[in-house]
Structure 1
Amino acid sequence: MTIGPTGQAEADPGEKGGARTALAGLTTRGRSFLAAGVAAAICAYVLGQPDLLRVGLLLTVLPLVCAAVVYRTRYRVAGSRRLSPARVPAGSEARVHLRMDNVSRLPTGLLMLQDRVPYVLGPRPRFVLDRVEAGGRREVSYRVRSDLRGRYPLGPLQLRLNDPFGMCELTRSFSTYDTLTVIPRVEALPSVRLGGEAKGYGDGRQRSLALAGEDDAIPRGYRYGDDLRRVHWRSTARYGELMVRREEQPQRSRCTVLLDTRGLAYRGAGPDSAFEWAVSGAASVLVHMLERGFSVRLLTDTGSSVPGEGADGFAGSGQGSADAAGLMMDTLAVIDHSDGAGLSPAYDVLRGGDEGLLVAFLGDLDEEEAAVAARMRQRSGGAVAFLLDGDSWVREPNDVPHPMNRQEERLRMLREAGWTAVSVPRGAPLDELWRQADRERAGVVTAGGPSGRGAGS
């Protein structure tokens, strides 16, 4: 049997086990017939009733013959599984396509096909294939859906063989399986101009090297295929060989998305919890920034970054943009609470250089961690913080808010440090908060003068 696009396996239902395996496959009906036959045979012997003995022998032999026939049935089947799609947002459906091929020279009997799926994806699918002719195939499909992100194994497939009387049933499992990745929900964000001294692409950008199509004064040697209109004649005369002007590529804007995963920073659990909102928000911003042409990275409170630590840790150029998005979505699909108590590891990573735009999703902050978060703004061209209001996420609608709410104090500390800080109440839509952050940033810039140019995001 073939499972998925890479793994292959085939099943011969009669090639494993022995008589013990066949007897173990007796169904409740088969065991009942066998027990009744033995009991009838004993009673016939005690009572001296030959007719009852014949009935007992019939009841005993029938399930044994069925088990032998099922056990000796030999044919080979192959199958394939295809996920459409293999990566699906939480709350959306994916379809699993199964195909069974009879690669033997004989038609099959009654087959029951069953696929193993985690309970969060729905009930275990079962299909009955009445008869598959020699060289024939059958195609079936089923749907899976999960409101919880994660990576879920599908398979292995199980094939059940039954006799016509339902006396014996044998199951064969196949070795390979596929994985369905359920990523966080991604919300489309509007195009706004968030503050950030980013270089390269984006509206309102600063360009430190050159614009697209501008030439660097430093020439290089001619290479086959270079446009002769780019020949630098002065350098050619100086070096005695054909030289051409370089084409300088614009430097890409950078964006770091910081996700606070500390377990003590969030309360509640489930798909509607504050932590799941933060994960979904981080995924939405990452996808939005990649679509706007930014080089992005995902940073957690533990100091680990995705796509990686190589060079500056950013990714998102050309074909690498899709690969980087997939890697970050796969990471967010399985990310969980960390055991860390502070944001210092993330601060150590950010203080190493100019990181462009910084977008942070933060849980509950005490005074010390709020001060650490405030210092992250020093080396960032622009900083936007979405601070989740923990009290509102666990408070019932009819509850009276706590009079000593510290959310405003934390927002004030971040804003004084230069952050554009937005409070996130329970169930708030991210696109509205995204616009609110842009309005607050514009208000700060208008009040304080043109302190910096916006980065198109």
Structure 2
Amino acid sequence: MRGTGALILAIACFVTANEFGVTELMYFGILLVAVIVASVASLYLSRRSDVVTRSLTPDVATVGRESLVSVTVGVRTALPTPPGVWQDVLPKGLRGKAEGVFPALGSGLRRSDRVVELSYVVTGAKRGVHPIGPLSVQSTDPFGLARRRTTFGQRTLVTVAPALVDLPPLTDFAGESGGTLHTTTNQLGQGADNLVARPYAPGDSMRRIHWRATAHRDELMVRQEEQESTPEASVVLDRGALRWATEALQAPGGDPGFEAAVSACVSAVARLVHDGYAVEVLDSDGAVLAERIDGGDMTEVEVLLSHFATLTARRDDSLGRLPRLFAGIMTGPVVVITGRLDASDADVLTPIVHHSTLPMLFSVSPVGNALDRAADAGWRVGAIDPEGDLAAVWAGAVGRGVSHVLG
């Protein structure tokens, strides 16, 4: 470094001047020391930062997708400052190049503070909530003799949601599974006036109000036919500890198999909601993992993604009790996503087939002929590989009954 060399040279000048009586070397050494002191002083007196804030676009990062990080640095300085190099510390849950040139600033005597805007792009790498920061700025004095690294301790927590895969629609199966695509087609040409209206009851959606009938009867009326044809679907994510690696219990992102299952779960929900289904998201023990999402409400799907950012496996196992949740009812698509699955598990799940218009079973770690056994019982099945193509597995399960797509 130049500063170290200048200091060594100054000391050498003092020693030589003392030994040989060369007064000029003494003056030169004093000049070098003065320049070094001035260089260090210019760095420590010229820049000070009080506030560092960050924002993401979109607000929630997603595994495998890019997000823009905007950094605002509030700077106070009385003296002009040279440019520097900034770097933001990224956690393991994010990938990117968080560094760049910090701009030079003029004198702040007229304005007490300045705002410096920085930005960089990150890609979600690991599900969870991760801290970005601290931000550091390395500056060099105008002579290049001294260097200072300033660290600003503010950190920002960033939510990284599970990967969302765009799955093929169930268009070809709308009639079988009760989808709104089929319902809408059947109602074309009928018109709203042909729908049967009934009085409004607490709990009815305001979107089902029949305004013409309401005006005629002078009381709120709802479309009876529309309510009865509302399609429903269920997505079940089995979080039982026996199905997953131990890491799935500890923190998000530890077990690749569980991460693939969580991604499959949110992707299936997004597909079904987009296709118009009212979707409930459950654990295999019946616990509600997300409130019912109405068909077409993609905003609630975004909320689901944020909620699933911290989801982990649980210690008990209850896959065998899952059929009880569907006993005595008939529903639309039922998507079950689990980890380890053997033949006995497939047999236990068989009763669900008779209560769903489109039963779909996906396993990350199928054992032996478990999936073939489930397919024989009526499930549309798929083997999920953490490195494979989830969209192909989904399409294969729906179209052919059995799909094994590996990476």
**What secondary structure, in the 3-state scheme, does the structure 1 residue paired with 2:120 have?**
strand
Unaligned runs of 5+ in 1: 1-27, 233-241, 308-312, 391-405, 442-457
Q: Does 1:298 align with 2:281?
A: yes
Alignment partner, residue 173 of structure 2: 193
Distance 1:167 1:244 in 2: 77
Q: Which string of whole-angstrom CA distances, capped at 9 and with x for unpartnered residues, describes residues 300-319 of structure 1?
A: 34654332xxxxx412266x
Q: Which amino acid aligns with 1:193?
A: F
Please give the residue correspondences for 1:233-244 in structure 2 after superposition, counting only pairs within 5 Å.
243=219
Q: Which string of whole-angstrom CA distances, capped at 9 and with x for unpartnered residues, describes residues 39-59 of structure 1?
A: 765776688765555454444
Q: Does 1:412 align with 2:373?
A: yes
Aligned counterpart in structure 2 of residue 287 of structure 1, from 250, 264, 270: 270
**RMSD across aligned C-alpha pairs, in angstroms?**
4.6
Q: Does 1:231 align with 2:216?
A: yes
Alignment partner, residue 96 of structure 1: 69
**What secondary structure, in the 3-state scheme, does the structure 2 residue paired with 1:69 have?**
helix
Distance 2:399 2:200 in 1: 45
Conservation of the 8 A alpha-carbon contact between 1:132 and 1:138: no
Conservation of the 8 A alpha-carbon contact between 2:17 and 2:25: yes
**1:377 Cα deviation after fit:** 4.1
Q: Does 1:343 align with 2:319?
A: yes
Conservation of the 8 A alpha-carbon contact between 2:162 and 2:308: yes
Q: Which amino acid aligns with 2:227?
A: P
**What secondary structure, in the 3-state scheme, does the structure 1 residue paired with 2:381 have?**
strand
Alignment partner, residue 385 of structure 1: 361
**1:384 Cα deviation after fit:** 1.2
**1:256 Cα deviation after fit:** 1.6
- RCO comparison, higher one (Cα < 8 Å, 6+): 1
What is the TM-score of this pair, normalised by structure 1?
0.63
Conservation of the 8 A alpha-carbon contact between 2:136 and 2:149: no
**1:292 Cα deviation after fit:** 1.2
Please give the residue correspondences for 1:66-77 in structure 2 after superposition, counting only pairs within 5 Å.
66-73=39-46
Identical counterparts, % of pairs: 21
**1:97 Cα deviation after fit:** 3.9
**What secondary structure, in the 3-state scheme, does the structure 2 residue paired with 1:411 have?**
helix
Q: Work out the number of aligned pairs and report it.
A: 373
**What secondary structure, in the 3-state scheme, does the structure 1 residue paired with 2:340 have?**
coil
Q: Which string of whole-angstrom CA distances, capped at 9 and with x for unpartnered residues, describes residues 251-309 of structure 1?
A: 532212122345654579999955444333323211111111111133334654332xx
Q: Which string of whole-angstrom CA distances, capped at 9 and with x for unpartnered residues, describes residues 148-174 of structure 1?
A: 444443334333443213414140415
**1:111 Cα deviation after fit:** 3.7
Conservation of the 8 A alpha-carbon contact between 2:233 and 2:279: yes
Distance 1:187 1:178 in 2: 27
Alignment partner, residue 421 of structure 1: 381
Comparing 94-103 and 169-178, the one that deviates more: 94-103
Q: Does 1:110 align with 2:83?
A: yes
More helix by share: 2
**1:420 Cα deviation after fit:** 3.0
Q: Does 1:357 align with 2:296?
A: no
Going from structure 1 to structure 2, the CA distance change for 1:409 and 1:195 (only over 3 Å counts) comes to: farther
Q: Does 1:171 align with 2:147?
A: no
Alignment partner, residue 143 of structure 1: 121
Going from structure 1 to structure 2, the CA distance change for 1:258 and 1:158 (only over 3 Å counts) comes to: same
Distance 1:99 1:55 in 2: 44
Conservation of the 8 A alpha-carbon contact between 1:342 and 1:369: no
Going from structure 1 to structure 2, the CA distance change for 1:133 and 1:273 (only over 3 Å counts) comes to: same
Q: Does 1:326 align with 2:302?
A: yes
Distance 1:244 1:125 in 2: 60
**1:123 Cα deviation after fit:** 3.9
Going from structure 1 to structure 2, the CA distance change for 1:35 and 1:352 (only over 3 Å counts) comes to: farther
**What secondary structure, in the 3-state scheme, does the structure 2 residue paired with 1:250 have?**
helix
Q: Which amino acid aligns with 1:293?
A: G
Comparing 96-105 and 164-173, the one that deviates more: 96-105
Going from structure 1 to structure 2, the CA distance change for 1:122 and 1:339 (only over 3 Å counts) comes to: farther
Unaligned runs of 5+ in 2: 202-209, 248-252, 402-407
More strand by share: 2
**What secondary structure, in the 3-state scheme, does the structure 2 residue paired with 1:181 have?**
strand
Alignment partner, residue 250 of structure 1: 227
Distance 1:243 1:128 in 2: 65
Q: Which amino acid aligns with 2:369?
A: E
Conservation of the 8 A alpha-carbon contact between 2:83 and 2:101: no
Please give the residue correspondences for 1:255-266 in structure 2 after superposition, counting only pairs within 5 Å.
255-262=233-240, 264-265=242-243
Conservation of the 8 A alpha-carbon contact between 1:96 and 1:142: yes
What is the TM-score of this pair, normalised by structure 2?
0.70
Conservation of the 8 A alpha-carbon contact between 1:195 and 1:381: no
Q: Which amino acid aligns with 1:129?
A: P
Q: Which amino acid aligns with 1:283?
A: V
Comparing 272-281 and 293-302, the one that deviates more: 272-281
Going from structure 1 to structure 2, the CA distance change for 1:133 and 1:351 (only over 3 Å counts) comes to: farther
